Amino acid sequence: MSILVDEKTRVVVQGITGREGQFHTRQMLSYGTAVAAGVTPGKGGKTVEGVPVFNTVRQAAEQEGVNVSCIFVPPPFAADAIIDAASVGMDVIVCITEGIPILDMVKVAGFLRTRQSVLIGPNCPGVISPGKTKVGIMPGDIHKPGPVAVISRSGTLTYEVVDQLTGVGLGQSTCIGIGGDPLIGTSFIDHLKRFQEDEETQGVVLIGEIGGVAEEQAAEYIKQEFNKPVLAFIAGQTAPPGRRMGHAGAIISGGQGRAEDKIKALQDADITVVLDLGKLGKTAVEVMKK
Amino acid sequence: MSILVDEKTRVVVQGITGREGQFHTRQMLSYGTAVAAGVTPGKGGKTVEGVPVFNTVRQAAEQEGVNVSCIFVPPPFAADAIIDAASVGMDVIVCITEGIPILDMVKVAGFLRTRQSVLIGPNCPGVISPGKTKVGIMPGDIHKPGPVAVISRSGTLTYEVVDQLTGVGLGQSTCIGIGGDPLIGTSFIDHLKRFQEDEETQGVVLIGEIGGVAEEQAAEYIKQEFNKPVLAFIAGQTAPPGRRMGHAGAIISGGQGRAEDKIKALQDADITVVLDLGKLGKTAVEVMKK
Amino acid sequence: MKLHEYQAKDIFMKSGIPIPNGQLVTSADQANKVTQIINGPPWVVKAQIHAGGRGKAGGVKVVHYPYEVVTATEAMLEKPLRTAQTGPEGVVVNQILIEERVEVDSEFYLSMVVDRDTACPTMLFSQAGGTEIETQAARSSGVIQKEHIDPVSGWMPHYARNLLYTLDPPPPPGAMPGLMSVMAKLYKVFMTLDCSLVEINPLVFTKDRKVYALDGKITLDENALFRQKELLALEDTREKDPLELMAEKYHLNYIRLDGNIGAMVNGAGLAMATMDVIKLAGAQPANFLDVGGGANEDMITKGIEIILKDERVRAILINIFGGILRCDVLARGVLAAAEKTQMDLPLIVRLEGTNVEEGRKILKDSGLKFLVASDLSEAAQLVSQQVKG
Amino acid sequence: MKLHEYQAKDIFMKSGIPIPNGQLVTSADQANKVTQIINGPPWVVKAQIHAGGRGKAGGVKVVHYPYEVVTATEAMLEKPLRTAQTGPEGVVVNQILIEERVEVDSEFYLSMVVDRDTACPTMLFSQAGGTEIETQAARSSGVIQKEHIDPVSGWMPHYARNLLYTLDPPPPPGAMPGLMSVMAKLYKVFMTLDCSLVEINPLVFTKDRKVYALDGKITLDENALFRQKELLALEDTREKDPLELMAEKYHLNYIRLDGNIGAMVNGAGLAMATMDVIKLAGAQPANFLDVGGGANEDMITKGIEIILKDERVRAILINIFGGILRCDVLARGVLAAAEKTQMDLPLIVRLEGTNVEEGRKILKDSGLKFLVASDLSEAAQLVSQQVKG
């Protein structure tokens, strides 16, 4: 098993004719992902890497039976793309786009409250179930199938973590970048619940960073409800308050969002927290044995 | 039993210091309804008929443990009042107000999609479970407890029906005026589902009128799912198309909403439809025997 | 509240929806001058009435000479225009819109309403633009595409794309931006002006590749006029029935019908049911009159007065189920009206509900001549006998 | 993007939120003239800098004679102002706001942000208006009341009432309409200008029973500036670090820190983690620099140039995990920068991911002096040794 996406996933790429859309369609196809359709308004009838392009998500869904969307459209149009995909009933919507106005995300979040779609991102690398399918922009070849799940607010930091896991022989069930924005579609807890139910997943690596209280909430949830081993890392232990550290969501403000508070909350929940990123892989081997 | 409201219901009256609010608070109290609080912004601390008045619904809920709201505020402020009550988590919100702008009701309907509150109305007489409680403006004394439920889009027409039912010895479990506006909080079907589960209810009288397709939908639902006797009446058999017949929702437009279509749909679902309102009581006796 | 085409188009123009150049006139003299400022020939001369179906009824003329603009205007102005929607007596034309004519490449239908089922503002779009959309719609569903606009998202471009890309073949690339823009603006007009209907039929793409609203219809939500005060000035009551206007003034729901039984009822549903019962008893109601659940004595008096102003009325049926409106209040209102007017028509009264005994007593003691009915069926029979006999 | 107080107040005024009369000056001469047009004495002289905490730092003066307006202006203008939020070097004051003083009866705190947990625009309100709201909030939760504004409902009056009626005692009846109106307008400003923060602290009720925004703070969502073009003109970059400004120009995320290790990383999370590892190894990062996931050769070059412009930097650590950004692209960027500048600082490079072999080869073949680290911990150790040795 795995969560969110697997070998049955059929992907529509929104913004497929753009530079990034094209590049990553190629990458996903070469990983083995079933990219079944693309959408770019006005480009219906064309193909990209052999994938048929449609004018609307609705048409793509009707004609190609896609169930997961991967969005590469620019920030001004991204909220429209997400809501479009959710209206059509995509199971999972992966939004790669960085830089969406926060009030657009307020709308998106409000809209999704009444729909079934799971939004991953925005401002995220996507989701991969190694050996099955990859919906996103992560380098596929560093992953290998296995028992460890990864949930992260970051992109390249996740690749670093996955690379170390693979390096120490720990393959992955599903790796999810939930996104670096202050408003994102899913929380750590949403996925922990899924991994709790996923028999293939034997443990979880949780990659947090400064900003918000999602890690504190996850710690509380794990303490109360989650019974598989968890290893955590929090980026930004040296970040100054009041500054956005690259990610729109990575900011310590109003006395909230400090790495030390998150680390303490996780440790209080008996979760091993790696402080030196370079040692994550080795620590994971020990933690996942439990 | 009964549905929506019963002897445990604790009512807050929004707009309690207005002319109608005061009058009907008195009426409800004299029927035996537990009107536990009132709300009028700026009048907090006063009392009306011995009922304490609060500035906000939240304060009324916190201090008096109310679970049902009855709204008498004027149309420009009614949507605010409904959303306020729903935010605070009222189980049932009865909105008497007539004349709410339809785009306000679009907002209300959107808001209620993510809340648990059941909205009755607007532009309705309210809900009564005879002998238990009355939340609304219907004359209490024409009702008597019994096995027949009434669901109606109308006000005085419902009183007429109830009076006939009581006259022929058929008491009522719960009578609901769902409202005469085009956008209302609940449909016939919502309540039919509740009455299906309500052991005390042995049959239903359904009072429809021109406009929309709610009666057609109810007919379809009854045919498929509902197994208690139903008697129906449709007002507006002689109404001309394109005119709003008093109720904002009572209009035949775009070829939709004609009484004859509704009557046909109901009859096709094997539901007895009374054409002469004067004969409703007598017919009910026969139908409810089944 | 219905707006005229020229008023709708004025709103469109201010909202950025392109319309043909045009000018409103109320005399042949003005029409003559307009030919000098509006591009032409040809010109389009359009009668401004609230009812649809003008084209087929001769209310829209395309003319090629300035003198024809004048004669076409003269032919319509101050004359009744009978369309499929006006009724047989027609509606007197008070205003004429004179426009340039654009060369149409393709025609669409576009409108917005609130959908009752989904409680969403909903945009309707069809390739079959033109005069007969309603019958077309009835004939083959699927001709009209619908898009429900979610109240959280508000307008978003994909709603427009979902509508436009249903066209087969899709609209020419040159038409897309214009059509999408009109859709976005139509939504904004609908929402910001509290409309219950906004319609552009036809919305056209011209041979010189522009998008225009060739016709426009706006109905405003009367419940929202309290916050749309600047739109009140657009009301043109000249086409309304004088008794309906009078009733509006007193917040009574009155609708003129074809029969001769004046009916006064409290509550819309009961009023409709009363009309139905009158008809079942073999008579015809002259009106629908709902005095409302909370009517006071004065409103009852006004209601009776309105009924009495209708010369066709041969008998009156009052059917009141007292709830908020108490029967004694009703009785006093009836007496007041009887005093003010010389009511000499047969009057059938059926009272039930709150304070019914007191109400009945007031009427009885008044010396007013009337028949009492014990139930609705009997009331209808009695009133029916009055006009038959 | 932060706005100055006077800019925020200008927006407030245009939105109908009352503010004291005031005038911006940039010279003592202008200050002198202002005393003739702004009601006084007394006057309030306020340094305009983006950082808070001005009051305690001497950046706000109440004066009673015209000459004091001038001397207070002179004392602040073109001098650095050090507040708790500026850092030890302070910020140079370029502009002064001179205002009439209003007589305060009661002070409130009012602001709007987007709440991360509920994804709702959220209004914050407190009776404890004044200068120390943040510490107060930290000390006792409950002092600040929150109201989440549902995205479907938008603003509704009950949100304001829920906040205002938490006050004990409730606000005087005379204050309610003014406070409710300010709340509604604050919401509108927040939503229509795409703000990430709007704050009025204090919002005051005066002795003559009026409501005023005595201070104002607006931060705009930079992601939304594409649709708020008219607000771009309000940007005042004079308080920004020059290297941060330069980085912004090239779409790089650069933040100046206190150490001496220049760090360049792709991806924000990895960049933060790299800073953390540098510190764990006993050194201090001079900056946070995230070149982003999709950086090109030119951006890499600019990143290196920015690091080299910082004279405190004694060694450079490049940590790249190739994903979208391929390692060969990085290597070429580094070489281009090395050629343009005279890079003679110790350079530690750690590459991994897409095209890593090619990247390593390019660097190796270039003749550039650098140390290769095989993993992140080693990279941090190496760079730390460079600055210690």
Query: CB A41 to CB C161 under 8 A?
Result: yes
Total CB pairs under 8 A between chain B and D: 41
- The C-alpha angle with vertex B189 and arms to B185 and B192, in degrees rounded to 5, equals 115
| pLDDT tens track for A119-149 | 999 999 999 999 999 999 999 999 999 999 9
CA A288, distance to chain mean position in Å, is 22
Helix (H, G, I), strand (E, B) or coil at C126: strand
Cα–Cα nearest to C222, from C61, C1, C378: C1
Q: Coil, strand or helix: which one is A159?
A: helix
Residue of D nearest to C150 (CA): D152
**Which segment, B82-86, D166-170, D317-321, D333-337, is predicted with the most confidence on average?**
B82-86
Per the annotation, the verdict on C67 as an active-site residue is no
Question: Is C187 one of the catalytic residues?
Answer: no
Residue D44: pLDDT band (50, 70, 90) is very high
Closest residue of chain A to B113, computed from CA coordinates: A114
ipTM of the complex in this document: 0.94
Residue D140 has pLDDT above 70, yes or no: no
Phi, psi of C160 (to 5 degrees): -65, -45
Residue D136 confidence (pLDDT): 55
Q: What distances in angstroms separate CA C365 from CA A71, B252, C339, C370, C383, one per listed residue? A: 80, 43, 14, 12, 22
pLDDT at C327: 87
Global confidence as pTM: 0.94
Minimal C-alpha gap between A251 and chain C (Å)? 28
Which of C156, C162, C173 is opposite residue A56, by nearest beta carbon? Answer: C162
Instruction: Tell me what the mean pLDDT of segment C88-115 comes to.
Output: 94
Buried/exposed code over D306-326 (b: 16+ C-beta within 10 A; e: otherwise) = bbbebeebbbbbbbbbbbbbb
List helix spans (H) across chain B: 19-31, 57-64, 75-87, 102-112, 156-167, 188-197, 214-225, 259-268, 280-289
In this prediction, residues C3-13 reach a mean pLDDT of 98
Give CA B217 to chain center in angstroms: 18
Alpha-carbon Rg for chain C, nearest whole angstrom, is 25
d(CA D97, CA D20): 11
**pLDDT (mean) for C329-342:** 85
**How many CB pairs below 8 Å do chains C and D form together?**
3
pLDDT for res C319: 93
Q: What is the pLDDT of residues D65-106, one digit of tens each?
A: 999 999 999 999 999 999 888 878 889 999 999 999 999 999
The subunits that touch chain B, with at least 3 C-beta pairs less than 8 Å apart, are: A, C, D
**Mean of pLDDT over chain D:** 91
Residues of D in contact with A220 (CB under 8 A): none
Which residue is catalytic, options C68, C99, C199, C305? C199
Residues of chain D with Cβ-Cβ distance to A263 below 8 Å are none
Residues 14-53 of A with CB under 8 A from B: none
> Quick one: closest CA in A to B112, which residue?
A114
Structure token pair of residue D241: 């670090």
Which residue type, as a one-letter code, is found at position B228? K
Nearest residue on chain A to C156, alpha-carbon basis:
A80
Cα–chain-centroid distance for residue D281? 30
Confidence of residue C133 (pLDDT cuts 50, 70, 90): low
Task: Please give the average per-residue pLDDT across C148-175, as a whole number.
Answer: 91
pLDDT (tens digit, 9 = 90+) per residue, D337-382? 888 877 788 999 998 888 888 998 998 898 888 888 888 899 999 9
Catalogue all structural domains in chain A, each as residue range(s) with its CATH number: 10-120 (3.40.50.720), 139-289 (3.40.50.261)
Cβ pair C154:A79 closer than 8 A: no
- What confidence tens digit (pLDDT) does each residue in D300-312 have? 889 999 999 999 9
Q: How confident is the model at residue D158 (pLDDT cuts 50, 70, 90)?
A: very high
Q: With left for phi above 0 and alpha for psi between -120 and 50, is residue B74 left, alpha or beta? A: beta
CA-CA distance, A222 to A271, in Å (whole number)?
Answer: 9
* DSSP characters over B114-162: TS-PEEE-SSS-EEEETTTEEEESS-GGG--EEEEEEEES-SHHHHHHH
pLDDT score for C246: 93
Tell me how far apart the alpha carbons of residues B235 and B239 are, in angstroms, rounded to a whole number.
Answer: 9
Neighbours of C344 (CB within 10 A): 9
Within 266-305 of C, beta carbons closer than 8 Å to A belong to none
Cβ separation of B102 and C223 shorter than 8 Å?
Answer: yes
Nearest to D359 by CA among D331, D319, D320: D331
Identify the residue among B62, B107, B183 best suited for mutation to test binding to D, counting D beta carbons within 10 A and taking the highest. Answer: B107
Q: How many CB atoms lie within 10 A of CB C272?
A: 30
Which residue in A has a C-alpha nearest to residue B111's C-alpha? Answer: A110
Q: By percentage, how much of chain B surpasses pLDDT 90?
A: 95
Residues A272, D285: Cα–Cα separation, whole Å: 26
Measured in angstroms, the CA of D12 and the nearest CA of chain C are apart by 23
- Token code pair at residue C147: 């898009």
Q: Residue B83: which of D156, D170, D173 has the nearest Cβ? A: D156
